[in-house]
Amino acid sequence: GESVGLHLPTLSVQEGDNSIINCAYSNSASDYFIWYKQESGKGPQFIIDIRSNMDKRQGQRVTVLLNKTVKHLSLQIAATQPGDSAVYFCAAFYSGGYNKLIFGAGTRLAVHP
Amino acid sequence: DAGITQSPRHKVTETGTPVTLRCHQTENHRYMYWYRQDPGHGLRLIHYSYGVKDTDKGEVSDGYSVSRSKTEDFLLTLESATSSQTSVYFCAISAAGGEETQYFGPGTRLLVL
């Protein structure tokens, strides 16, 4: 079946450093991807999305990179802050059967002072 | 949380009892979704709706039913709760189906004893 996986369950960084969270997907036909942030006890919060006609998209302190050749995307967070501590999910849109987003299990980002 | 509320936020119930969770949105979005989130599984789609009275099954729909009588409300019912349905349930909305961002509510934590 289709799957979306994150490379590391936990990532620890120092405050002020840049963070990179990686994600791999299995369906080469997926052409829409979303990154979500989930803080403890809250629902997933949209961070940034990217479509397959792009390989890079930037937001405020965040950049998403998409490599369709190896079916990989990454989320880069610049100057990581304590408020960035959360679980980060990538999701890939899959149009087979019924249209749906497939979510990865998440990477926990821990920011240390 | 993009104008999405869920009720109740927490519920404890006993095996065999019926349970109804409510999702309410103020965005007038056409699509609404119910997901469950469990450790190690990420977010999995239970049911979704693409309009009033229009619903369809997701990947883990067994034991669940839904109804949508108004654009703003989407109900998830567990006809006879089981311990395997202990989970955190999230409602999401999107303006359109397919490759559109889904925005999530705050979640309902359900414990079935």
Is A43 within 8 Å of B56 when comparing Cβ atoms? Answer: no
B39-48 pLDDT per residue, tens: 877 899 999 9
Q: Strand, helix or coil at B99?
A: coil
Residue A45 in contact with partner chain B when CB distance is under 8 A: yes
Q: What is the CATH number of the domain that holds A107?
A: 2.60.40.10
DSSP code, position A113: -
Q: In b/e form, how buried is each residue of B75-95, taking b as 16+ CB within 10 angstroms?
A: bbebeebeeebbbbbbbbbbe
CB contact under 8 A, B97 and A99: yes
Note whether A106 and A38 are within 8 A (CB). yes
pLDDT tens for each residue of B46-76: 999 999 999 999 989 999 999 999 999 999 9
Question: Distance between CA B79 and CA B87 in Å, rounded?
Answer: 16
Long-range contacts of B44-51 (CB under 8 A, 24+ apart): B44/A103, B45/A100, B45/A101, B46/B76, B46/B89, B47/B76, B48/A100, B49/B74, B50/B97
Query: Given a cut of 70, is residue A99 above it in pLDDT?
Result: no
Quote the DSSP letter at residue A60: S
Q: Which of A26-30, B3-7, B76-80, B100-104 has the lowest mean pLDDT?
A: A26-30
Instruction: Categorise residue B3: left if φ over 0, alpha if ψ from -120 to 50, beta otherwise.
Output: left
Q: Average of pLDDT values for B107-112?
A: 98
A93/B contact by beta carbon, under 8 A: yes
Task: Give the whole-angstrom CA distance, residue B59 versus residue A99.
Answer: 11
The pLDDT score that the predictor gives to residue A46 is 95
- CATH number 3.30.1120.130 is the correct assignment for the domain at B4-112: no
Residue B99 has pLDDT above 70, yes or no: yes
Q: Do B103 and A42 touch (CB under 8 A)?
A: no
A31: contact with B, CB 8 A cutoff: yes
- pLDDT of amino acid A94: 76
Predicted confidence at residue B42, as pLDDT, reads 82
Question: What is the Cα–Cα distance from B100 to B93, expressed in whole angstroms?
Answer: 10
Give the residue-averaged pLDDT of A95-103.
71
Extents of the domains making up chain B: 4-112
Q: Which domain holds residue A95?
A: 4-112
**Hey, are the CB atoms on A95 and B98 less than 8 Å from each other?**
yes
Tally of domains within chain A: 1
Chains A and B form CB pairs within 8 A to the count of: 50
In this predicted model, what pLDDT tens digit does every residue of A32-85 receive, in sequence order?
Answer: 999 999 999 999 999 999 999 999 999 999 999 999 999 999 999 999 999 999
| Residues A12, A36, B8, B93, Cα dihedral to 10° | 180
Confidence check: pLDDT of B2 > 70: no
Can you list the pairs that B46-54 forms with residues at least 24 positions away whose Cβ atoms lie under 8 Å? B46/B76, B46/B89, B47/B76, B48/A100, B49/B74, B50/B97
Determine whether the interchain pair B106/A100 forms a contact, defined as Cβ–Cβ distance below 8 Å.
Answer: no
Percent helix, percent strand, percent coil in chain B, to nearest 5 = 5, 60, 40
User: 62-101 in B: which are within 8 Å (CB) of A?
Assistant: 90, 97-99, 101
